[in-house]
Structure formats: structure tokens, C-alpha cells
Structure 1
Amino acid sequence: MPVQKAVVAAPVGLHARSAAIFVRAVTDTGLPVSISKAGADKVDARSLLQVMAADFPQGCHVELAVNEAALDGALGRQKAEEALRDLRGLLESQGAA
């Protein structure tokens, strides 16, 4: 399963506008991405409501993942890894602020 770890850099965390930007970027990948923090269940990163309800504050360490079953071979895995790197960059650059 492709996985990337990131730290939320946005000053308000993933709340309202920053969450909407992040969810839009996830949706644009076309992949079923999940996001989670230590000790919490994974949530669907394509769902604004789930992302906001999960409470990812600034400095929160998160894990982004794509279920292997959703991928189509090596090219699908490569696409997922690239998408997760881009999403990690978005979270860590305050681009979701």
C-alpha cells in the first residue's frame, strides 16, 4: 500500500478553507486516499466533512495512504506514490492554508 507521512503546516490545521483545498487536491488525483493521525481511525480524504471532523491541527503528524486493491498494477502504484508525494508537499508547504 503506497503511504506517505506528513506534518500539517497550515496555521489553522486542516480546517475550513485549508481542508477544502486539500480535499480538492485529493479528489483531483482520482484515487481513494485516506488520512489518519496516531491513535485515530483512517478517514476518507475525499470527504470534507470527515477531514474537518477528524481534527488535524497545525503540527499534526498524519499518514496518507491509498489502498493497494484500488490500484491497477505497477503504473497505478506509481501514480499513487506520485500523488501522495504531491499531497504531502501540499500539507507541508502551507499550500492548504
Structure 2
Amino acid sequence: MERSVVVAIREGLHARPAALFAKAAGEQPVPVRIARPGGDPVDAASILGLMTLGAGAGDEVVLSTPADGDDDRAALDALVAFLERTEVA
């Protein structure tokens, strides 16, 4: 299962937002991968992987899970909602 989303977080996926996103991804019931369109996916729970993406505010990313079940949908819903926020705590 895949879902595209535009990063709304002002800082993008750098430093603190990346750490918080990686934590949220690691708490999901299924593994989630993230990539720039056409790029190689990385583990969404990896801070280092997120930093290598270089995804800033306004950039599109693609989230993916290994299957198409309820857990996969829930994981993508939660992470899309995270990326659609303009600020993270």
C-alpha cells in the first residue's frame, strides 16, 4: 500500500521533526518505508534514513507498507497526519 503526501512541517524532516517522525513510525503495527518520488525508500523509523531523504517543507514523499490490511491503512493514516501538520512539538 502506498500514499503520497506533501510535507507541511515548516522545518521539513530534519533534526527534531525527523526524530519525532521516526518515533511515530516505529510505534506503528507494520513497517513503513518513505521515499521521495522516484527515489529509493528508507525505513521511516530510521532517523538517519530520514535525514538522507532531505525532504523539506513542500516536498512530496511516498509512504509505503508491505501489504494492504487494516494495520497498513492505520499506519499510513497516522503518519500522513503527522506530515500534514505545520509544527511538531
* TM-score where L is the length of structure 1: 0.83
User: Structure 2: which 5+ residue stretches go unaligned?
Assistant: none
Per the TM alignment, residue 31 of structure 1 is displaced from its structure 2 partner at its CA by 1.8
1:90 matched to which residue of 2?
Answer: 82
What SS class does the counterpart of residue 70 from structure 2 fall into? helix
Q: Which amino acid aligns with 1:46?
A: A
The structure with the larger Rg is: 1
Deviations 1:25-60 (A, max 9, x none): 000113210001123111111110011111111101
Q: Which amino acid aligns with 2:34?
A: I
Q: Distance in 1 between matches of 2:29 and 2:51?
A: 20
**Going by fraction, where is helix more abundant, 1 or 2?**
1
* TM-score where L is the length of structure 2: 0.90
2:72 matched to which residue of 1?
Answer: 80
Q: Distance in 2 between matches of 1:87 and 1:95?
A: 14
What SS class does the counterpart of residue 14 from structure 2 fall into? coil
Task: Report percent identity of matched pairs.
Answer: 36
1:66 matched to which residue of 2?
Answer: 65
- The number of residue pairs the alignment matches comes to 89
Q: Distance in 2 between matches of 1:15 and 1:66?
A: 22
1:21 matched to which residue of 2?
Answer: 20
Q: Which amino acid aligns with 1:82?
A: A
Aligned-residue CA RMSD (Å): 1.6
2:49 matched to which residue of 1?
Answer: 50
Deviations 1:39-85 (A, max 9, x none): 311111111001111111110111100112xxxxx7xx101101101
